[in-house]
């Protein structure tokens, strides 16, 4: 039982480390400032390509640079 608990803890730490490393490798594609927010679009490559793209859309306070919860977000391309 003790061995199983250690494996679960190690797997959890590995997953958290991998997620943090992936987030640290994001490069900005574009950034726009509105009244009170900065909206950033980032990806691993730092480029928007044709086809499927994996990306992060982040909203931060222009004054404090802290993340802001903006509720439900919809994104469309044309």
Q: Where are the domains of the chain?
A: 2-61
| Owner of token pair 């044309």 | 78
- pLDDT for position 19: 57
What are the per-10-residue average pLDDT scores of the chain (78 residues)? 60 58 76 93 88 88 92 81
- pLDDT for position 20: 54
Q: Is 56 left (phi over 0), alpha (psi -120 to 50) or beta?
A: beta
> Reading across the β-sheet that carries 27-33, which strands appear in turn?
27-33, 37-43, 56-61
C-alpha to C-alpha distance for 40 and 20, rounded to whole angstroms:
18
- pLDDT for position 55: 87
pTM of the prediction? 0.62
- pLDDT for position 64: 94
Cβ-Cβ contacts under 8 Å for 53 (sequence gap 6 or more): 43
């Amino acid at each position: 039982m003790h061995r199983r608990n250690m494996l679960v803890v190690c797997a959890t730490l590995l997953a958290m480390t991998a997620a943090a490393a992936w987030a640290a490798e994001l490069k900005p594609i574009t950034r726009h400032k509105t009244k009170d927010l900065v909206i950033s679009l980032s990806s691993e490559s730092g480029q928007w390509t044709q086809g499927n793209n994996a990306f992060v859309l982040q909203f931060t306070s222009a004054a404090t640079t802290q993340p802001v919860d903006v509720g439900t977000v919809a994104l469309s391309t044309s």
